[in-house]
């Protein structure tokens, strides 16, 4: 059974940095995307970053562009989200999700950030990020 496990969430001060990890176990797929979403209390889920594996091309939401970076270690089946310049409005539970490209091809990444939760093949349980002074 495939599992996605997020880690790295913590409480930090504004301006701080964190690196989140999304590790996939029992995962044997060759063509997919991993997206990061976040949800703050009382707010809708927001897609913030997505990366294509293999390939490494990525897209970020405007809210995190220039501050967050996404990368992957395919050998470890792990995707990382480096978050710099954290702001109080970044406080949320952060989730990773996997979308398999079983038919091959190279779908556009940007629309993935707006896809419905049910369209993803796997989800993690989330990790809390709190930015506060």
- pLDDT of 103 reads 78
pLDDT of 129 reads 98
pLDDT of 14-71, one tens digit each?
999 999 999 999 888 889 999 999 999 999 999 999 999 988 899 999 999 999 999 9
Map residue 89 onto helix, strand or coil.
Answer: helix
Q: What is the mean pLDDT of the chain?
A: 95
Q: What pLDDT, on a 0 to 100 scale, did the predictor assign at position 96?
A: 98
pLDDT given at position 131 = 98
Nearest-angstrom CA–CA distance, 37 and 25: 19
Query: What was the pLDDT predicted at 55?
Result: 87
Place of tokens 């702001």: 87
For residue 105, what pLDDT is reported? 77
Query: Residue 115, by phi and psi: left (phi above 0), alpha (psi -120 to 50) or beta?
Result: beta
SS3 82: strand
pLDDT in tens, 60-115: 999 999 999 999 999 999 999 999 999 999 999 999 999 999 877 788 999 999 99
Asked if 110 and 49 count as a contact pair (C-beta separation under 8 A), the reply is: no
Contact between 58 and 109 (Cβ < 8 Å):
yes
pLDDT at 127 (0 to 100): 98
């Amino acid at each position: 059974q495939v599992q996605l496990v997020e880690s790295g969430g913590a409480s930090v001060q504004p301006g701080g940095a964190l690196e989140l990890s999304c590790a996939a176990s029992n995962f044997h797929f060759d063509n997919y995307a991993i997206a990061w979403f976040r949800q703050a209390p009382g707010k809708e889920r927001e897609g913030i970053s997505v990366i294509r594996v293999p390939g490494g091309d990525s897209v970020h939401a405007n809210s995190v562009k220039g501050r967050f970076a996404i990368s992957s270690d395919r050998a470890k089946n792990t995707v990382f989200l480096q978050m710099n310049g954290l702001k109080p409005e970044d406080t949320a539970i952060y989730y990773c999700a996997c979308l398999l490209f079983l038919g091959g091809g190279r779908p556009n990444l940007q629309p993935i950030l707006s896809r419905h939760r049910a369209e993803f093949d796997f989800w993690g349980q989330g990790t809390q990020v709190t930015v506060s002074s």
